[in-house]
Structure 1
Amino acid sequence: MAKITKFRKNSAAIREGEWIKPGEEYDDLEILTRGFTDEYLDAQAQKLRRAAASWHGQDRIPVKIKRDINTELLLRYVILDVRNLQHGDGTAVTLEQFKQMLLDPDYDELLLACYRAASQVGRAPGRSGGGGGKLKAALRSSLEWGRFGGLLADLEPEERPEAPEIPDWLIWIWRARHRLTDERQYIVEGISAGMGGTLIRSRPAAIPWTAVRRWAEVHGYGPDRAEMLDQCIQAMDGEYLAWSAERAKL
């Protein structure tokens, strides 16, 4: 039974800001951030219209210009403070220093952390945009049974394993994930095998969030759509990595 609290967001936090940990990969970093407010979205739409006029169409605006626009507006309307971030000498990074870093391509990972933090403001923990569960189930079924496609076709319909259907409104995420899976890296590990021997094997890493962000930028997704893509791909990728770990034990 669905609970109404699942669909509620904290509008006050989105307007005024809250401290957010963007993810485990950022250690203890916390960012005081608003969500993507109406002011941010209105300013973004205005700047993109102007850029589109200069480039004769929004689909012709270079990715760098779109990124610069979004970063400028992120600093102006969204990011409020930062804590638990230090320089190499142990001194704390100030807000002004942090904002300067976000303009530097060498600190692209920090910029990604800000986008992730802003997308989490005012939302219930664990919320994945409503489609993560359906996509995870479909992916697990595909991983388990996809390689037997030819054999399954010879079975009677009632003998085939039930395959979860992907709703039409989630197809775009399903397709994006299958394109982006080629962006993942593989981690090479050495395992002691006795008698001085070593077994070398590789395991998949997660799809980089940078790849998801580039996909969203190229397709012109707004913050909400980009967040949904990110959350659903994280859910699907977690399912894939779990399945891959299970297969490695066989």
Structure 2
Amino acid sequence: MIELKSEHELAVMREAGRVVAKVLNAVRERASVGTDLLELDELASTMLDEAGAKSSFRHYHPNWAPMPYPGVLCTSVNDAIVHGIPTGYRLRDGDLCSVDFGAAVDGWHGDAAISFVVGAADPVDLELIATAERGLAAGIAQVKPGNRLGDIGHAIGVIGRKAGYGLTADHGGHGVGRAMHEAPHVPNEGQPGKGLKLRPGMVFAIEPMFTAGGRDDYRYGDDGWTILTSDGSRAAHVEHTVAVTEDGPRILTAP
């Protein structure tokens, strides 16, 4: 079942989204050559506590995972696409880092992700990130009443495929609300005019995951959580939580 959110509920989700945006901005500012990933996770955890919010990620345990998720951030570096667990790894010059973060306020969740390069950036990596961001913007633009889920996926997929990137099979966005992951699944590729009809009050996390090597397949890391490109190429992941409204898309995790 897909729950339609009221204006009051969207307002609370917007508060969660503000926490998410603030934390991601702080993490991006803190990340530099030599910063370890656990330091970033501790920063995010402290900011959650200061905001009176709860982590959407810590202790989350889907049935495919070998253990509950131990962090409040997902920190995916270079060939890690998503779900990278924060460790003592110290960021190196030129690393491409994707950071995913979720927060809950009064039981309502917000979820977003950013990708950036630490230190001297390879233009190839910057273009990968920029293309993922263009895909995200294109998907968000389709979040309006009367459109279909396929319109969102088509908008994202066309941009990724045209650039020659892979789209990470079986992964994409999802509904968001009282739980971090709700129905429906929101694919990053689709047929326009097909799928669920969008109605005001629906809320989705839209999250392109583009891989530079052009392959859609992937593998799991030794921790059972981290999803890695199958060919070792780099990946970028960006995301916003977006509500369908009569006036069009409302980005709940905007800064």
What TM-score comes out, normalization by structure 2 length? 0.30
Higher relative contact order (CA 8 A, sep 6+): 2
More helix by share: 1
More strand by share: 2
What TM-score comes out, normalization by structure 1 length? 0.30
- Greater gyration radius: 1
